[in-house]
Structure 1
Amino acid sequence: MKASSTTVIALVTGIALGALCAHTLQAQPKQIERKQVLKTDLMGLGGKEGLILTATIPVGEHGGKHYHPGHELTYVIEGAGVLMIDGRLPMELKAGDAVYLPPSAIHDAKSTGSVPLKVVAFWIAEKGKPYTVPVP
């Protein structure tokens, strides 16, 4: 009987740990997919460079609060979302929308549609400076 009790305890412990691990894995935020398309010096603009990238934010996730030292122009390719810029009302975004963010505008975007939010972003910034600065 003692071996049977040990087996039951081990089985129950294993099931509990398995359930806990599965819940933890499901609770992890989905990764935002970013892909650099182009990075180049901008001739005639003295020390400026341009960057184009695509980003895909999974449904229900957000990009995280941040700002860009340079100018940002973003075009929504697919999906829907909300853009939250400090000091402004939230802005609903959908495929076909475009937005301009001036340097240092603290913002975050959340994917709110039924498919991931896909955007293409264009930045003009000082060469050698970071394109994105996280905000706690």
Structure 2
Amino acid sequence: MIARRSLLRTSGAAAAGALGVAALSSTAAAADSDPTAGVTRTLLQEHPSPAEGWEAVQTLVQIPRHKESGRHSHPGVEVGYIVRGDVLMEFDDRPPLRLRTGDPFFIPNGVIHNARNVGTVTTMMLSTYVVDETKPLVTNY
């Protein structure tokens, strides 16, 4: 199992890159120009799956106003719920999906997507993944 807990909520580009989140920038100008600045994934829990080689991971994803997660995929499915905010979920292979507070969503294994905050508050998404335990949770494109 990959020790994701040590990587989440850790400052620095190496830790952030390993999870597919942007490292916090040292200057406001750089943060303003980086569309993923301030995006965080906080690990809530992880457990072995009943299927050998897989694990269940749950995170709280926060996307500040006018920011986005960046194009990425996961080595398994993502089942999510919009706790707060408005998101335009963009996909490489299908039309975008507008999600609002209270909406659930599902992203199939390996599908490249980007969550863009199109609302007026920091978006909070509860995301649960069932993923291959030998691969990184997030692969950026």
What range is the shorter-chain TM-score in?
0.7 to 0.9
Mind listing any 5+ residue stretches in structure 2 that lack a counterpart? 1-26
In structure 2, C-alpha distance between the alignment counterparts of 1:71 and 1:47, rounded to whole Å? 14
Q: Deviations over 1:46-96 (max 9, x none)?
A: 121110000110010010001111111111000101000112111111011
For residue 33 of structure 1, report the CA deviation from its aligned partner. Answer: 2.1
Cα 1:49–1:28 shift into 2, 3 Å: same
Q: TM-score, normalised by structure 1?
A: 0.77
Q: TM-score, normalised by structure 2?
A: 0.74
2:62 pairs with 1:45: no
Mind listing any 5+ residue stretches in structure 1 that lack a counterpart? 1-21
For residue 24 of structure 1, report the CA deviation from its aligned partner. Answer: 2.6
Cα RMSD between the aligned structures? 1.6
SS in 2 for 1:52: strand
In structure 2, C-alpha distance between the alignment counterparts of 1:25 and 1:133, rounded to whole Å? 23
Identity %: 24
In structure 1, C-alpha distance between the alignment counterparts of 2:65 and 2:118, rounded to whole Å? 6
- For residue 62 of structure 1, the aligned residue among 54, 62, 68 is 68
* Superposed structure 1 runs of 4+ greater than 6 Å apart: none
- For residue 88 of structure 2, the aligned residue among 75, 82, 86 is 82
SS in 2 for 1:31: coil
Cα 1:27–1:38 shift into 2, 3 Å: same
Larger Cα-atom Rg? 1
Q: Which residue of 1 aligns with 2:8?
A: none
Question: Which amino acid in the other structure matches residue 130 of structure 1?
Answer: P
Q: Which residue of 2 aligns with 1:27?
A: 32
Which has a greater percent of helix? 1
- For residue 95 of structure 1, the aligned residue among 101, 120, 137 is 101
Number of corresponding residues? 113
